[in-house]
Amino acid sequence: MRLPARRRLSLFLTALGMSAVIGAVFGGAGGVGFRPAPIPGAILGSIGGLLNGVLLVVPVAAAEILLPPTRLGHVLDRSPFLVSFVLKLLVYGIVIVCVVGGRLGRRLAAALVPPVSALDPAATSYVLNRPAMQQMAITFLIVGVGILMLQVARLVGYRTLRDIAVGRYHRARTEERFFLFVDIAGSTALAERIGPDAVHRFLGEVFRLASDPIDEHGGDVYQYVGDEVVITWTVAEGHRRARPVACFFAIEQALEHASRDFDREFGAVPHLRAALHAGPVIAGEVGGRRRAIVYHGDVMNTTSRIEQATRDLERTFLVSDDALARLADLDGFTLEDLGLQQLRGRAGPVRVYAVTPSP
């Protein structure tokens, strides 16, 4: 199974497990409310809640995790934030009404656990006939908040939202990080030929196709700057399997698979230049009402200068010696030592390597 499929399956199974546990806890708590026989009530309620959780999460998680790579998923990604949010809430609301309002989990629990049902018919009747309006309201709230958080996370980035929420960078801290600068070559000339609106769509499609490889290799999009995307990893995250290097070639491969579509729509195929560097940076939150996590340090400037050197050295992908020293599992790549290079704006030279996939 390919890496993207494995990752999506893992996310789907995780969501399934969490929903089942939450459903069992809520269902069991409701079943305990049957005072004459709290234990049979709790057992039936837990099983009913677990089944409700599974029945709910299968369509919702499938839509959120498995739908995005499809054509319909791409249409939803391009739709306005509010339209996508309301549409999902309506569709998921129908599922909630059918599953929770229809007491499907409870009915299945009573059918699947006949010994407990026979042991205390009154507890079975209590669990089956307990009003579902409160459960539906709670489920609507949980699903609604979940959709909203997912939509916001897609705007600002999952890791950025998480880090701001837990205050990881509320106080500035020093981190060792990889930075991968990926530039789309020839975009200025392309803009002159096809116009700003078309080149905007061209760049948007490139960045959209790059998002899956970035996610699959554990990268975090720091920012989009014109025709360039800046991707980052902590050294601990990027060290194994040379993730930053593998990420760049995965992006190239994704764009190559879509080359016919680009050529048909824009009359041009995207070509990339990239640079990878690593070192210490200061990471912290900045801003007032609009918060952002930023990185300061010479690493950023040096990476940009290495990316500029790809033109002078006529190479597609340059990696600094500092980055290579922090990577493992480079067996699948060929390194060409280009020696010490005097980069613009830097006093000291930097040793760089041209990296290509091994044949």
Over residues 20-30, the pLDDT tens digits come to 888 788 777 76
Q: Residue 162 above 60 pLDDT? A: yes
State the pLDDT at residue 203.
94
Last residue in a domain, options 109, 134, 156: 156
Assess whether 148 and 169 both reside in one domain.
Answer: no
Write out the E strands in 228-290. Answer: 228-234, 272-286
Q: Distance between CA 74 and CA 258 in Å, rounded?
A: 14
Assess whether 188 and 94 both reside in one domain.
Answer: no
pTM (predicted TM-score): 0.75
Domain count, the chain: 2
Last residue in a domain, options 156, 178, 202: 156
What pLDDT band is residue 52 in, cutting at 50, 70 and 90? confident
Assess whether 89 and 200 both reside in one domain.
Answer: no
Assess whether 125 and 261 both reside in one domain.
Answer: no
Domain CATH for 235: 3.30.70.1230
Assess whether 96 and 217 both reside in one domain.
Answer: no
State the pLDDT at residue 4.
58
Q: Distance between CA 231 and CA 224 in Å, rounded?
A: 9
- Mean pLDDT for 71-88 is 77
Place of tokens 């806890």: 25
State the pLDDT at residue 274.
97
Q: Residue 153 above 70 pLDDT? A: yes
Assess whether 10 and 112 both reside in one domain.
Answer: yes
State the pLDDT at residue 358.
87
Q: Distance between CA 9 and CA 316 in Å, rounded?
A: 34
Residue-wise pLDDT tens digits, 173-217: 999 999 999 999 988 888 888 898 999 999 999 998 998 899 889
Q: Distance between CA 299 and CA 305 in Å, rounded?
A: 10
What pLDDT band is residue 61 in, cutting at 50, 70 and 90? confident
Residue-wise pLDDT tens digits, 96-141: 888 877 777 767 766 776 655 555 566 556 555 666 677 778 788 8
Q: Which of 54-68, 181-195, 213-227, 334-348 has the lowest average pLDDT?
A: 54-68
In a 3-state reduction of DSSP, which class is residue 207?
helix
What pLDDT band is residue 355 in, cutting at 50, 70 and 90? very high
Most confident of 49-58, 209-218, 250-259: 250-259
Assess whether 52 and 132 both reside in one domain.
Answer: yes
State the pLDDT at residue 139.
80
Look at 63 and 94; give whichever has higher pLDDT: 94
Assess whether 152 and 177 both reside in one domain.
Answer: no
Residue-number span of the structural domain to which 76 is assigned = 3-156
Q: Residue 234 above 90 pLDDT? A: yes
Residue-wise pLDDT tens digits, 258-308: 999 999 999 999 999 999 999 999 999 887 777 778 899 999 999 999 999
Q: Distance between CA 222 and CA 348 in Å, rounded?
A: 27
Assess whether 184 and 151 both reside in one domain.
Answer: no
Percent of the chain with pLDDT over 70: 87
342, exposed or middle or buried, with CB in 10 Å at 0-12, 13-18, 19+? exposed
- Mean pLDDT for 236-240 is 92
Assess whether 222 and 109 both reside in one domain.
Answer: no
Assess whether 150 and 281 both reside in one domain.
Answer: no
- Mean pLDDT for 54-81 is 76
Assess whether 208 and 313 both reside in one domain.
Answer: yes
State the pLDDT at residue 1.
41
State the pLDDT at residue 292.
79
Last residue in a domain, options 122, 156, 190: 156
